[in-house]
Amino acid sequence: MALKSFITVHPDSHFPIQNLPYGAFKTQHSTALPRLAVAIGDYVLDLSELAKAGLFNGPLLTGSDCFLQHSLNKFLAMGRPAWKEARETLQMLLSSTEPALRDNTELRHKALVPMSKVEMVLPMEIGDYTDFFSSMHHAKNCGTIFVGPQTPISPNWFHLPIAYHGRASSIVISGTDIIRPRGQGHPTGNSPPYFGPSLKLDFELEMAAVVGPGNELGKAIDVNEAADHIFGVVLMNDWSARDIQGWEYVPLGPFLGKSFGTTISPWIVTLDALEPFACDAPKQDPPPLPYLAEKISKNYDIALEVQIKPSGQKDSSVVTRSNLKNLYWTLTQQLAHHTINGCNLRPGDLLGTGTISGPEPNSLGCLLELTWNGQKALSLKGTSRKYLEDGDEVIFTGCCKGDGYNVGFGTCAGKVVPPRD
């Protein structure tokens, strides 16, 4: 029999009892510190209230203050046994047959807050943020545009999950305006480089893994144990200024073309909730080196969609549809590779997948690819775009379709605003 909550959840909701993603919220206009929650239907369920009521009574969470913290880091560090225990407790407390929360009016009123009354904030402190480059279609398209069609993908790409360190300070929560960056672009002829607001502002459709316990410096994580170090996944928009990036990135990689803002969705969907949507990862040829060879190599079937809503327009337009399963390198291979040199991961670290492009023209994950670096405009309802304009809101959604229910991510959205003076 399917799990069912005493809380009414619309069949289209992203947040049924099968999901229970984690986040952190403030009640609107409140100056209080954030509180931890899971999403259920149109509510956030305040975990601090449940903890104070003593309802986390399993062996690992009894007496723990992990849900009284203002970020998830402590809970993330506790690892999968604690995560599983919390999930079981929450599914039990929310089920239609369990009276402990259902029939406790006072607690229910304290603990269940309508989503419309809260402001979501970053759910964890992010020590380090890494961004991978794991979609072959994206790598091929970028290489064709920037390097040429002969050897678009560099030879290392098929041997290791290429990545770079990103900027942690400028990661913001969905709904935060993105200020168009200023910077240098390529000079023309003998002129000095262009300087001014970026003329090629782009989104990048990504997801990102949130790291659990992590490892100590010098001690690599085995690829077959890597899933125990991934708490869950968020949607991520790795906003990119293509003119700044194109001029600066040789030889040390992306820097100011990315570091002005990176948006993540407020809800972390756990690997446990995603497990029913696991699917085979693509066959890798050449076969990966032993430290990247997985006994079971999994992707997740998560349908992704990007919409753009220009300022003043009533409707947004879908500009691309992709899927996490388009990744060549899996999340667990990314994590294992990250630690093979001894680099330490810490709870709350964020590992971006890189832009998730699929093979079809309407499954490309950024405007650079969709407009082939501005060579052809993308048609929106009543207007068109080569790159983003001020006032454009970019909205990502992600969702797994179950039998009569969804496991979804909500949205990851941000509006482009002009530079400040």
**Integer Cα distance of 394 and 263 in angstroms:** 10
Q: Closest separation between CB of residue 263 and a copy of itself, Å?
A: 12
For a copy of itself, give the closer residue by CB, 112 or 208. 208
Return d(Cα 253, Cα 233) in angstroms, integer: 25
Is position 10 annotated as part of the catalytic site? Answer: no
262 is in an annotated binding site: yes
Q: DSSP assignment of 243-282, as one string? A: HHHHHH-TTT--STTTTT-EEE-S-BEEHHHHGGGEEEPP
Q: Please state, as a whole number, how many other Cβ atoms lie within 10 Å of the Cβ of residue 259.
A: 17
Residue 65, annotated as binding a ligand: no
Tokens of 322: 């992709």
Binding status of residue 336 toward a copy of itself by CB under 8 A: no
Among 2, 33, 279, 289, binds a copy of itself (CB under 8 A): 289
Nearer to a copy of itself, 100 or 195 (CB): 195
From 24-32, 73-81, 254-262, 300-308, give the range in contact with a copy of itself by CB under 8 A: 254-262
Q: 354 vs 408, which CB is nearer to a copy of itself?
A: 354
Nearer to a copy of itself, 99 or 286 (CB): 286
Asked if 251 is part of the footprint of a copy of itself (rule: CB under 8 A), the reply reads yes
Catalytic one among 137, 138, 229, 337?
Answer: 138
Residues paired with residue 211 on neighbouring β-strands, in sequence order: 230
For a copy of itself, the binding residues in 337-366 under the rule CB under 8 A are 337-338, 340-346, 349
CB 195 to a copy of itself: min, Å: 5
CA separation for the pair 256, 110 (Å, rounded): 44
249 is in an annotated binding site: yes
Element (H, E) at 349: none
225 annotated among ligand-binding-site residues: no
The interface region with a copy of itself, picked from 48-56, 157-165, 304-312, 378-386 by CB under 8 A, is: 157-165
d(CA 139, CA 355): 9
* CB burial of residue 233 (10 Å; 0-12, 13-18, 19+): buried
Closer CB to a copy of itself, residue 193 or residue 361? 193
173 contacts 138 by C-beta, under 8 angstroms = no
Q: Which is nearer to a copy of itself, 6 or 194 (CB)?
A: 194
Rounded-to-integer distance, Cα 96 and Cα 106, Å: 18
Shortest gap between Cβ of 288 and a copy of itself (angstroms)? Answer: 9
Q: How far is the CB of 393 from a copy of itself (least distance, A)?
A: 17
Calpha distance 62→55 (Å, rounded) = 8
Two tokens at 241?
Answer: 């200024």
Placement of tokens 């994950």 in the chain: 365
Q: Does 7 bind a copy of itself (CB under 8 A)?
A: no
Q: Is 122 in the site for a copy of itself (CB under 8 A)?
A: no
Site stretch for a copy of itself (CB under 8 A), options 24-32, 66-74, 241-249, 298-306: 241-249
206 annotated as a binding-site residue: yes
The CA-atom distances, in angstroms, between 118 and each of 24, 42, 164, 258 are 10, 11, 34, 29
Looking at the Cβ atoms of 72 and 319, the one nearer to a copy of itself is 72
Structure tokens at 372: 């082939």
Restricting to residues 132-151, which ones interact with a copy of itself according to CB under 8 A?
133, 143, 146-147
Total residues in contact with a copy of itself, by rule CB under 8 A? 67
Q: Which of 388, 396, 409 is nearest to 178 (CA)?
A: 388
Comparing C-alpha atoms, which of 44, 50, 160 is closest to residue 410? 44
How far apart CA 134 and CA 116 sit, in angstroms, is 36
The residue within the footprint of a copy of itself, chosen from 27, 104, 170, 313 (CB under 8 A), is 170
Decide if 190 contacts 136 (C-beta within 8 A): no
Catalytic residues, by residue number, are 138
> Can you say which residues are annotated as belonging to the binding site for Ca(2+)?
131, 204, 206, 238
* Footprint of a copy of itself (CB under 8 A): 127-128, 130, 133, 143, 146-147, 154-156, 159-160, 162-170, 172, 179, 181-184, 187, 192-193, 195, 217-220, 241, 244, 247-257, 259-261, 286, 289-291, 337-338, 340-346, 349, 419-420
